[in-house]
Every structure is written in C-alpha cells, then in structure tokens.
Structure 1
Amino acid sequence: MTDYPHHPEQAAVRGLLGAVGEALGGPVPREWREAITAVPRHRFLPERIWLDDGHGGYEPCDLPTDHDRWFDSAYADLPVVTQVNDGEEPPDPAGAWPSSSASAPSIVVRMLRDLDVRPGMRVLEIGTGTGWNAALLAHRLGPGHVASVEIDARVARQAQAALNAAGLTVDVVCGDGSLGWHRRLPYDRIISTCSVRRIPWAWIEQTRPGGIVLTPWDNPMLC
C-alpha cells in the first residue's frame, strides 16, 4: 500500500481525535488516544473503498488514482465501506451493496471505552473487519491477549496481513462468530462489531464470571 508523509498523517490523526472527542462530548480517553495515534486507521483500509455516490448508492474510490479523497475518507468520523457484494464487485457500480465496512471511529472509541479493558485481560472480538478495532485493543493489551473471529475468509486474510504489517499480535480466526472461540477462554471481555438479536450462549459460556459482553443490538421491530 502507498504510504503518506509523516506530517500529513499526524495532522489527520489530530483532526480525527478532535472529531471523535466532539462526537463523544469530551476528550478521547488517553489510552485510546495513544492507540489511535500509534495505529493509523488508513493502514487498515484496502486500496479500493466505496463511498456514497450522493444518489443512495456507492462508487469506488481508489488510492492510486484518487488518493486525496481516499485519505480524507480514512480520517473522517464516518463509516467506510471496504467490500461490496461479498467481494464479487459488479460490472456496474449501481449494483453495489455493502458487505463489509469499517465503523465510524467515534463508534469504535465509544465501544472500547464502554468495554473497560485493562492490561492483562483477554478479549475476544466478533467481526474482525479491517482489523483496526483489534489493532487498537492489541496496542492497549499487548501480544497474546486479543483474538478475533471473522466469517469472511478474504476479509480475515486482509485483516491479518494489516495486523502483521503493524507488528501487532492478534489471533484472527475464520469462522462463525456466534460460536466464539475456545482456544484462549475464558475471556474477560467479548466485543461484537456486528448487531445481534440475542446473545449467543457460547459467548456467555466463554466469558469469565464478572466479565462483560458488549454488542450492538438489532431490534427486529425496526426492520
């Protein structure tokens, strides 16, 4: 992936931290501010992302040909679609529908703050996506403390590659997140980046007594 000069990256990170703090109604907690500074978000995005086309659809934005727009999107407090159509891109962008994305940074930080992790804890993430959320956790907790489950094999490989390139040790597992992962249990925390309508029993079984399971909630009444 093409890199960027150090100073523009620093400015972009400062701008992102300011936007996230504004969304949260206060400064980003120190430990997550340090993690975001050390683990730049753009290093976890693919060279092709998909942006709102202004007409209810998505259009591709490629790093080599539209790097300014790509980079600005990487550091906006907005979600970024990183895959469409389960990785099988349509010949016509009008047929694109999002199948994987990077959450808005303010949502990421809000959930990490609510997760209340501390050094020494073991965390299981459900839904690896780009790997940036797992990277922030690994920066905070150190090697051997974070595992992440991703159902899409291609997405899992890309996330593992990005984590390896950042020098962060995370066990990325391709599998069904509703089953959790047995290798490092019990976990002090389980965090899901995908919405659920019920908590899978496996997550409860794999969480240490007194631990936390944190997930977005999908209300079927709103569908």
Structure 2
Amino acid sequence: MEPIGAEGRDAMRGLLGAVNESLGAPMAPPWEAACREVPRHAFLPEKIWVGEDLKECSRGAAPGEWLRHAYADTAVVTQVNDGQAAAEVGERWASCSASAPSIVFRMLDMLDVRPGHRVLEIGTGTGWNAGLLGPKLVTTIKVDPALAAQAAGCLERVGLGAEVVQGDGARGHAAGAPYDRVVATCSVRAVPPEWVAQTAPGGVVLVPWESP
C-alpha cells in the first residue's frame, strides 16, 4: 500500500475530527485505529464523481482535490451509469458510492462485532467497510462483477482477507452461514428471509431502513 504522505495525514486528522463531531463523541479506539490502518483513499478508484451534479474528479488530473474528497465526511460516487462511459454532457446517475465515513463508523459501532464473529456484509461497495472490519471472518457480497473484482483487489493490496462474493445480496451467502452479524450497506424496505435464516441464534441483523 502506498504511503499516505503529509497531505494525506492532515486530511486523515481532519476526517477523524469530522467523524467525532458527527457522532457527538470520540470514535471507539479500535475503530480509530482501523481508520488509520485501512485508509479510505486506498479503496477509491482513480476517477470519482462529486457534488449534486456528479462532477468528475480524476486523481491523475487533480490529486489534491481527489484526496480532499477521499477524506471528507461525505459520500463519494465511485461509479456512474452502471459503469457505462459517461458523456461530457448528458445524464449521469450514481450506481455505486462510498458512504460518508460518519455513517460507516456509526453502523460499525452499532454492529458490536466481537473477536471470532463471522460477518456477512450485503453490498461491498469499494471494500472499505469490509477492510475496516479487519482480519475477522468477513464475507461481503456485490452483484456487479467488475466492482466485486475491484474491491477484492483493494482488500488484497492492503493485506486483508475478506471473502468477496459476486452475487445477489438479497439471497445472502448460505455457504458461509451461520453468521453472527449481518450488515447491509444499502437501505431496504423489508429484510429478506435468507438473511434471518443465515444468522446464528442471538446474532444481529443491521440494515438502513427505508420507509415505504
């Protein structure tokens, strides 16, 4: 993994301060350590899209701006139009994004993962969330094969061994069940029965809930 550099370290400190402010309390020490050891920028692609108008930002063309977005406490779009080339002028819509870090750490804290727990993550995204969970028994699912491969590559480069599965997250991953924790990074209006069935007795299923 490439060094973060002085500018990156400053950006990291700013991000930690912003997350603490959003949470209303200091991050738990294990999660702060994970944030430092598994840097967010290592999971973002060379090209991202930012703002309401999804302005393109390339690391090669604007490295400073790219790094600022990587360590801002905001969501970053990492794919538009399902991976199809986006025209300079024309409709762009977000098809994959990295969640705001404060939301990521709030959910990780709520998940209450303990040593030895098996974790199933629905919605791999960039792979950063699975990376933050660290060397635990993590299985993460992504439906888009290109994004699943990209996330697996990022996890490998930072030396973390989460299992990345390409498939329909609504079905879970029965081959690795039962799981002590199931966490979804996408909002749902109903919890698929497969997630419940694949959760160990006394386990936790954590999802962002979307009202009908």
Q: When the two structures are superposed, what TM-score results if normalisation uses the length of structure 2? A: 0.96
Residues 47-100 of structure 1, C-alpha deviations (whole Å, 9 max, x = no match): 000011xxx421210000011110000000000000000000222344111000
Tell me the equivalent position of 1:34: 33
AA partner of residue 104 (structure 2): V
Could you tell me which runs of 5 or more consecutive residues in structure 1 were left unpaired when the two chains were aligned. none
Tell me the equivalent position of 2:202: 210
Q: Which of 150, 157, 163 is the aligned partner of 2:155?
A: 163
- Cα pair 1:47 1:64 within 8 Å, conserved: yes
Q: Distance in 2 between matches of 1:121 and 1:93?
A: 47
Residues 128-161 of structure 1, C-alpha deviations (whole Å, 9 max, x = no match): 0000000001x2xx25x00000011111010000
Tell me the equivalent position of 2:113: 117
Quote how far apart the aligned CAs of 1:5 are. Answer: 4.9
Q: Distance in 1 between matches of 2:77 and 2:94?
A: 6
Q: Which of 176, 181, 186 is the aligned partner of 1:189?
A: 181
- Cα pair 2:8 2:67 within 8 Å, conserved: no
Tell me the equivalent position of 2:14: 15
Residues 153-180 of structure 1, C-alpha deviations (whole Å, 9 max, x = no match): 1110100000000000010000000100
Q: Distance in 2 between matches of 1:80 and 1:4?
A: 22
Q: Distance in 1 between matches of 2:78 and 2:31?
A: 23
Residues 20-45 of structure 1, C-alpha deviations (whole Å, 9 max, x = no match): 00000010111100000000000000
Q: Distance in 2 between matches of 1:191 and 1:93?
A: 37
Quote how far apart the aligned CAs of 1:182 are. Answer: 1.6
Which runs of structure 2 are paired with 1:120-131 in the superposition (5 Å)?
Answer: 120-131=116-127
Q: When the two structures are superposed, what TM-score results if normalisation uses the length of structure 1? A: 0.92
Report SS of the residue matched to 1:95.
coil
Q: Distance in 2 between matches of 1:86 and 1:48?
A: 14
Q: Distance in 2 between matches of 1:6 and 1:31?
A: 23
Q: Taking every aligned residue pair, what percent have the same amino acid on both sides?
A: 51
Which runs of structure 2 are paired with 1:91-170 in the superposition (5 Å)?
Answer: 91-137=87-133, 139=134, 142-143=135-136, 145-170=137-162
Which stretch of the first structure deviates more once superposed, 93-102 or 109-118? 93-102
Tell me the equivalent position of 1:45: 44
Q: Which of 35, 41, 65 is the aligned partner of 2:61?
A: 65
Could you tell me which runs of 5 or more consecutive residues in structure 2 were left unpaired when the two chains were aligned. none
Give the number of equivalent residue pairs. Answer: 212
Which stretch of the first structure deviates more once superposed, 165-174 or 6-15? 6-15
Which stretch of the first structure deviates more once superposed, 159-168 or 90-99? 90-99
AA partner of residue 207 (structure 1): T
- Cα pair 2:120 2:138 within 8 Å, conserved: yes
AA partner of residue 151 (structure 1): V
Residue 20 (structure 2) pairs with residue 24 (structure 1): no
